[in-house]
Amino acid sequence: MKSLIINKDDLRHNINIIKELAKLDIPDDNGKKYKLIGVVKGNGYGLGLIEYSKLLIDNGILTLAVATTEEAVDLRKAGIKEDILMLSSTSLEEDLRLLIDNNIILTIGSEECAKIVKKLNNKTDKKIRAHIKIDTGFGRYGFLYNNIKSIVDTIKELSNVNIEGIYSHFSLAYYKRDKWTIKQFNRFLNVIEALKLNDINIDTYHICNSPAFLNYPEMHLNGARIGSAFLGRVDCENSVGLKKIGQLKTSITEIKTVPKGYNIGYLNSYKTKKETKIAIIQVGYMDGYNITLKTDMFRFVDKLRGLSHSIKNLLRKDNLKVMINDKKYNVIGKVGMYHMAIDITNSNIKINDKVYLDVNPLHVDGKIRREYI
C-alpha cells in the first residue's frame, strides 16, 4: 500500500520561517499588519486540500486562496470558516453566485466580472467581499495596468462591495534582480498611487508569490500569497532553510537475482555489469515519480537553462536513489508506469521492507493516501 508521507514538524518549520520573514506582528506605516495568504490550490499543492488547509489555519495562516470554485466550495463543506480568496476572476454568473453564497472573497479582474458582481449584489443580502486583480504583464486575469480610468470607474461603481485588496502576479520572479519583475512591480505601484489620487484606499496590497517573496523582500508590500515555499519546493534559491515536504512510501514486493549482462526495464536502457540482486517496488511515473513536465519555453536564455539542467542530470551517475532501511540504493533501468527496479546487491533487504522516495506532492496521484506524521 502506497502513501504520501507529510511531516507536520517540517511543515511547521517552513511556515514559521515564512512568518518570520513576513514580520507578521510589525504594523506598517498605516498601522496595518501583514497578511499572509496560504495558497491551497491543486489539492493543497498535493498535500490534501482539507487536511493541509486545517494545518495552515492551526499555524496562524488565517486566509486561504484557491484557484477553482470547486476548491472553495469543498473547503466550506469541510467546515472551514476562515477567509478564502478565489484567485481566478470569472464572468460566469453561476460561479460568482456560488462563490457569494459560500462567503468566498472574489477576484474582480474585468469590467464584465464587475457588472455581474454588481447585479448579484443588488439581489443578495450578503456582504460581498473582493480583491481587484491588475495585469501588470502576465497576460492572464486582471485589468490592464495602464487602463487607470477603467480600474477607478469600476471600483467606484462597486461602492456597496467591500474591496479589501488589490493584487498582481509576477511572471518571472524566479530570478533575482530581474528587470522585467522590477518593471511589473513599478507598474503595480503606479496603479496604487493612481487609486490614492482618486481617493480610493484599499487595505491589502499583494504581488509576491513564493519565489518573489524569497527573492524580492523589498516588494513584500503588506501581503503575500505563499504556496510552494511552505512545501520547501520553490523554483528559486532556497537560502532560508526551508525543508522539502513529501515522501512516497511503499514496500518491496519482489526480490530476484539476475546474471551479468541482463537487461532491466523498457528499451533495454540498462544492462547489469555483474550478477545483481534487484528489488521490485510498485511505484512508477503514474504515481508522480520521476516525471518530467513539458515546459513551454520561448526565450532563448530559458532554453539554455533547461538544456544545462538536462546535461547536468545526464552526467550524474547517481541520478535516482531511494531510501531503504536508512540507506540509499540506486534505481536501475527505465522507470515504468507502475513499477521500477532497485539494485540491492550485498544487502539483507527483505520482501515488505519499506521504501521511501523523494517526490513533489503536486505530481502524486490524488488516489494515493496522504499520511500526516
- Which residues are known to be catalytic? 41, 266
Angstrom distance (rounded) from CA 58 to CA 36: 14
User: Mapping DSSP to helix (H, G, I), strand (E, B) and coil, where does residue 368 land?
Assistant: coil
Angstrom distance (rounded) from CA 50 to CA 40: 9
Q: What would the grid cell of residue 201 be? A: 484606499
Angstrom distance (rounded) from CA 61 to CA 53: 9
Q: How far is CA 118 from the centre of its chain?
A: 31
Q: What is the DSSP string of 91-133?
A: --HHHHHHHHHTTPBEEE-SHHHHHHHHHHHTT-SS--EEEEE
Residue 235 has a CB neighbour count (10 Å cut-off) of 12
Task: Single out the residue of 335, 285, 286, 366 nearest to residue 4, CA to CA.
Answer: 366
